[in-house]
Amino acid sequence: MNLKAAITGIHGYVPEDVMTNADLEKIVETNDEWITSRTGIKERRILKGEGKGTSVMAAEAVRGLLEKTNTDPNDIDLVIVATVTPDYMFPSTANLVCTQVGIPSICSFDILAACSGFIYALTTGAQFIESGRFKKVIVVGADKMSSIIDYTDRTTCVLFGDGAGAVLLEPTEGENGIIDFMLHSDGSGENHLIMKGGGSKYPASHDTIDKRYHYINQEGPQVFKFAVTNMANVAAAIMEKNNLKGEDVRWLVPHQANKRIIDATANRMGIGEDKVMVNIQKYGNTTAATIPLCLFDYQDQIKKGDNLILAAFGGGFTWGSVYVKWAI
Ligand code: UT7
């Protein structure tokens, strides 16, 4: 018996509060023309309210997913949350989400792979299904990027937003499901994209706060160079490995960091704009949430049997691609 993991449900959540490019013009020296032409972003969502962490958005996405798929919380075997903005260093956000939505005492844990977090979590969850061990796995990508953004730094504050997306994975013996994946990492990218403070190397202190170590720090052009090459390469590589030509692919589901990186990836794959999921204009870069939020926004347009290539690049560095044949 050859078990595959299939995505059998998808749901997303973004907070109500919208931060537009015009709003940012009032905070830092920037303008709509620069942000739009360099990134493709028009607005992003911000989770407001004291004491609200990433788990609030992740739980909303999971609640919606359970309802939509008519799934009893008692039947869930595993919840994985990909995030770089957990509510706490510990306990894990996945533990908190389970309790918030009423999923009792199952295995749940977080995965940290920055902007590639969702595809790392998705492929991890798929292994538990393919082994026959678990029947229902929820994979979430969620980030409250506004909690680690320095709103005096125009080079990063215009890029990021908050959101969450969740998928249900179930076993199938059919031909559709998660077919293949390629995952990579390279820790020498450490200093190009990093939040230095709050870990064991630089625990919180007056000094780390003065040095702004608790904010995301990105060397944009350096990261761009790596991202544009590696995301395009890994998307092309998984196509080649699975004998897929541009015409065989129905959807590229790319991490939404920069419209120029998305375009370069599509070009490399030999596919036109009509096959590329893009919602960066509405949400900016929501880190682990970009890919599930794309699937959520485009769910009505995806058809059973469609070939999807998911591709991401992010801090670490981490990058990778997943080949999915849509199952619902
Ligand atoms: O998701 C995780 C992975 N992350 C990525 O993939 C992001 C990769 N990097 C990027 O997307 C791009 O590098 C950015 C969007 C971050 C920046 O775009 P860029 O075309 O690489 O611009 P740059 O950083 O080279 O800056 C060009 C100019 C600079 O001015 P000078 O030195 O040429 O006078 C910046 O100071 O634009 C200036 N600039 C801005 N101007 C207006 C930088 N940020 C802004 C801003 N508004 N917000």
Contact 43, 20 (CB under 8 A): yes
The pLDDT value given to residue 102: 98
Q: Choose the residue to mutate in 26, 42, 195, 224 for probing ligand 1, maximizing ligand atoms within 8 Å of C-beta.
A: 224
**Which helix (H) or strand (E) segment is 54 a member of?**
helix 54-68
The pLDDT value given to residue 139: 99
SS3 content of the chain, % helix, strand, coil (to 5): 40, 25, 35
| Bridge partner residues of 321 (DSSP) | 182, 311
**301: CB partners within 8 A, 6+ apart:** none
Q: What is the tens place of the pLDDT at every residue in 91-118?
A: 999 999 999 999 999 999 999 999 999 9
For the cut 70, the answer to whether the pLDDT of residue 327 exceeds it is: yes
Q: Choose the residue to mutate in 30, 31, 37, 38 for probing ligand 1, maximizing ligand atoms within 8 Å of C-beta.
A: 38
- Band the pLDDT of 13: cuts 50, 70, 90: very high
The residue ranges of every structural domain in the chain are 4-174, 178-325
Q: How far apart are the first and last CA of the chain?
A: 21
Annotated active-site residue in 98, 115, 157, 294: 115
Q: What is the CATH number of domain 4-174?
A: 3.40.47.10
* Closest C-alpha to ligand 1, atom 39: 155
Cα–Cα distance measured from residue 48 to residue 162, given in angstroms and rounded to the nearest whole number: 10
Using only C-alpha atoms, the chain has a radius of gyration, in whole angstroms, of 19
For domain 178-325, the CATH superfamily is: Thiolase/Chalcone synthase (3.40.47.10)
33 lines ligand 1 (CB under 6 A): no
The residue with greater pLDDT, 2 or 157, is 157
280 lines ligand 1 (CB under 6 A): no
Q: How far is the CA of 176 from the centre of ligand 1 (A)?
A: 40
The pLDDT value given to residue 1: 64
What is the average pLDDT across 41-58? 98
**Residue 228 CA, closest ligand 1 atom number:** 6
For the cut 90, the answer to whether the pLDDT of residue 2 exceeds it is: no
Q: How far is the CA of 38 from the centre of ligand 1 (A)?
A: 7
- Band the pLDDT of 224: cuts 50, 70, 90: very high
Q: How far is the CA of 309 from the centre of ligand 1 (A)?
A: 27
Is 4-174's fold the same as 178-325's? yes
Q: What six digits make up the tokens of 241?
A: 């490995």
**Which of these, 67, 121, 39, lies nearest to 292 by C-alpha position?**
121
What is the average pLDDT across 307-325? 98
In sign, the C-alpha dihedral spanning 196, 220, 161, 81 is: negative
**Residue 24 CA, closest ligand 1 atom number:** 48
| DSSP, res 254 | E
Contact 120, 82 (CB under 8 A): yes
Q: What is the tens place of the pLDDT at every residue in 129-168?
A: 999 999 999 999 999 999 999 999 999 999 999 999 999 9
Q: What is the tens place of the pLDDT at every residue in 57-86?
A: 999 999 999 999 999 999 999 999 999 999
Cα–Cα distance measured from residue 125 to residue 173, given in angstroms and rounded to the nearest whole number: 17
